[in-house]
Amino acid sequence: MARLSDDCFDGARPAMTVAEAASLIGTRLPVLAGIEPVPLALADGRVAGAEIRAPIALPPFDNAAVDGYAVRFSDLAAGSGTVLPVRGRIPAGAEPASLDGRAGAVRIFTGAAMPPGADTVFMQEDVRVEGGAVHLPPGLAQGANRRLAGEDVARGSVAIPAGRRLGPPELALAAALGLDALPVRKALRVAVFSTGDELREPGEVLGPAAIYDANRVMLLALLRRLGTLPHDLGILRDDPATLRARIAEAAGEHDLVLTSGGVSVGEEDHVKAAVEAAGSLTFWRLAIKPGRPVALGIVAGTPFVGLPGNPVAAYVTLLFVVRPLLARLGGETYAPPIGLPVRAAFAHPKKPGRREFLRVALRRADDGSVEAVKNPGGALTALAGSDGLADLPEDAGRVAPGDVVAFHPHAGLW
């Protein structure tokens, strides 16, 4: 496993924007994930570890885009209909019939190879067949309804760029090119802790002043959806020596250590001191709501991220701060998510200077437009009942009903 130097995060200044944080991550950190070949059927969700070039052209031969009749355009009468004898039949997968230099048409089906010399296909619903001849209407352009060899992918060209996260469309493309295995980045191993004496596991008896740990199961689920191999390491109590030892141990066995809670500046927030004792720490204050305090550091050469304890803040910072970090470490090409424009059906006071994320639901307005409403309820009920997040940029002020806001559906962030 590759190791990082302790100064990777040095120089981070307070109150950075989310974009500045992502840029700093991209310039300071190397790719840690190695490359391995995997069978095509197991490559879903993995990251292409190298350029995947086309060993063949796609399509590999000129073929018909429709069911119909293939002809030479030069055999058609100018300005009027044409009647040609039908000289063969080519279903998909069959050797192409030849016109042998004679004027004529060949019955052809979608995907079938074009006859040598034929360059145009009439759709079957546009023609009339009588007595072994086909009546062709005028007006069809030369080359119509024909797919040229290599028009989708040229042989030797880059079909899938390095760094692309592979999904069903990419797998279909690789299969069409005849590839049965792909070079992919190894999945990042992520250690996940929750911290705090007040936390209990779901299912346990809840004592006085205790709460159930909601963050860890949420973070583990998100990390799996982002293509990593998360390792659930449970709850760490607020004991400095134990925190230091467990975090250092996890760093030796993982590509990233992730905690939630205990990264503020209170005297009972022990994670910060534990990481500083075991490695180096940069305490980032981001111009973001929710989620301002995020700690980043290096422990035994392994990146460390300490997220806020508030579950909504942990959700937002994982998706907008840790997400580019995971992409960088895992060799994935990262582009910040683009919010979809929707109309706000709410008023919201906002201070310029920080980026703010609101839990919103979508509804259809009376005029047919899609509009966003702020989801009511507490932290987690509003998150669970929302369709996504409204993204208010740093320079935005108060939001009024009718304003256009950027909307991120939850599924688009995973």
Determine the pLDDT at residue 240.
Answer: 86
**What does the buried/exposed string (b/e) look like for 86-114 if buried means 16 or more CB atoms within 10 Å of the residue's CB?**
ebbebeeeeebbebeeeebbbbbbeebbb
Determine the pLDDT at residue 273.
Answer: 81
In the predicted model, what is the mean pLDDT of the chain?
92
Summarize the confidence of residues 176-180 as an average pLDDT: 98
Determine the pLDDT at residue 249.
Answer: 95
pLDDT tens figures, 72-113: 999 999 888 999 999 999 999 999 888 888 899 999 999 999
Determine the pLDDT at residue 161.
Answer: 98
Please tell me the least confidently modeled range out of 161-175, 261-275, 366-380, 397-411: 261-275
Report how far apart, in Å, the C-alpha atoms of 135 and of each of 19, 67, 76, 116 are.
63, 15, 11, 21
Burial of 133 (0-12, 13-18, 19+ CB in 10 A): middle
Determine the pLDDT at residue 263.
Answer: 67
What's the residue count for the chain? 414
Q: How many Å apart are CA 203 and CA 196, to the nearest integer?
A: 17
Strand partners, 303: 298
Confidence of residue 68 (pLDDT cuts 50, 70, 90): very high
pLDDT tens figures, 315-354: 999 999 999 999 999 999 999 999 999 999 999 999 899 9
Are 105 and 76 contacting, i.e. CB atoms less than 8 angstroms apart?
no
Query: CA nearest 173: which of 36, 64, 43?
Result: 43
Q: How many Å apart are CA 34 and CA 41, to the nearest integer?
A: 20
Are 33 and 254 contacting, i.e. CB atoms less than 8 angstroms apart?
no
Summarize the confidence of residues 367-395 as an average pLDDT: 93
Query: CA nearest 250: which of 294, 296, 297, 189?
Result: 189
Summarize the confidence of residues 27-36 as an average pLDDT: 89
Query: Which 8-state DSSP code applies to residue 319?
Result: I
Non-local (6+) Cβ contacts of 347 within 8 A are 398, 399, 400, 401
The answer, yes or no, to whether the previous bond of 202 is cis (omega within 30 of 0) is no
The three state secondary structure string of 338-359 is CCEEEEECCCECCCCCCEEEEE
Q: Which residue segments constitute the domains of the chain, with CATH numbers given?
A: 18-34+186-329 (3.40.980.10), 41-45+48-58+157-185 (no CATH), 63-147 (2.170.190.11), 340-413 (2.40.340.10)
Determine the pLDDT at residue 19.
Answer: 87
Are 367 and 300 contacting, i.e. CB atoms less than 8 angstroms apart?
no
Please count the other Cβ atoms lying within 10 Å of the Cβ belonging to residue 395: 8
Determine the pLDDT at residue 371.
Answer: 97
Confidence of residue 210 (pLDDT cuts 50, 70, 90): very high
pLDDT tens figures, 238-296: 888 899 999 999 999 999 999 998 766 555 567 878 888 888 887 677 889 998 778 88
Report how far apart, in Å, the C-alpha atoms of 301 and of each of 86, 153, 228 are.
73, 42, 19
Q: Contacts by 241-249 with C-beta closer than 8 Å and gap 24+?
A: 243/195, 243/270, 243/271, 243/274, 244/274, 244/277, 244/278, 246/193, 247/193, 247/271, 247/274, 247/275, 247/278, 247/299, 247/304, 248/278, 248/279, 248/299, 248/300
Q: β-strand 68-71 against 120-123: which pairing, if any?
A: antiparallel
Q: How many Å apart are CA 381 and CA 158, to the nearest integer?
A: 46
Is residue 27 over pLDDT 70?
Answer: yes
- Per-position DSSP letters for 185-246, written without gaps between them: EPPPEEEEEEE-TTEE-TTS---TT-EE--HHHHHHHHHHHTT-EEEEEEEEPS-HHHHHHH
